Amino acid sequence: MIDALELQRLYAGLTTAHAADALVRLGLPPRAAPAALRPLWSGARIAGRVLPARHYGSVDVFLEALTRAEPGDVLVVDNGGREDEACVGDLVVLEARQAGIAGVAVWGLHRDTADLREIGLPVFSTGATPLGPVRLDPQEPEALAAARVGLHEVTGEDFVLGDDDGVLFAPLAHAAEIAAAAAAIRDTERRQAARMRLGTSLRDQVRFGEYLEAREREGTTFRQHLRAVGGAIEE
């Protein structure tokens, strides 16, 4: 299985948008976190194997998860998207950094925002509140096996990408294949953008007139046409 350093190398020059398009091109289901899950600061990026943990009102579940962590993992916290409590703060993030964690993604709220920015470990969450948890619910047996983020359940068989566009999950077994497809899409889009700056419209580049004729004649979709002519703008 791909290791953390190779995963970070593969995705260093790729965005979540590139990877999302690659998933569609490869026929793999794209799993994006809800749009509310955002980085604490612009330019933050994460790429790593999912280290899942479900929160029940105490940080002990995070400390237990970190005993299982490998350097480069990303702690993915499931707090059910709750808006009445923060479940991650400065001490948890400091401990995560000391454990070699590459970042933290929280389906829920954080606190200690100023301290988190100073610590510098990338953190993604749905927002901030000064309120900590006052509940203590029973911990489920699968608390460290899987985390739910919005509609999606993720495990250690997945990896996570995050940037200014949000957070994306994908199967770790396909990481290299997804990165290769994403890099091809990125390079095509860069070539198209460069030609547009030099005066060649996108319509000319993708032979849009030919597409309209093919759509009328054969019912060709724009995505089918783009793949035929080697263009990229959507998948």
Average pLDDT of adjacent 10-residue blocks, the chain of 235 residues: 90 97 95 98 97 97 97 98 98 98 98 98 98 95 97 98 98 98 93 92 90 91 84 59
- 127 assigned to a ligand binding site: no
Distance CA 186, CA 233 (A): 10
* CATH-assigned architecture of domain 4-172: 3-Layer(bba) Sandwich (3.50)
- 92 assigned to a ligand binding site: yes
In terms of phi and psi (left: phi > 0; alpha: psi -120 to 50; beta: otherwise), the region of 165 is alpha
Give this prediction's pTM: 0.91
- DSSP label at residue 46: E
- 120 assigned to a ligand binding site: no
Strand partners, 103: 74
Find the helix packing angle between 222-229 and 208-218, rounded to 10°. 130
CA torsion sign, 28 to 33 to 35 to 39?
negative
120-158 core/surface letters (b: 16 or more CB in 10 A; e: else): ebbbbbbeeeeeebeeeeebeeebbebbbbbebbbbbeb
pLDDT at 183: 96
pLDDT at 89: 98
Distance CA 188, CA 103 (A): 30
pLDDT at 56: 97
- 90 assigned to a ligand binding site: yes
Please state the separation of Cα 135 from the chain's center in Å.
Answer: 29
- 112 assigned to a ligand binding site: yes
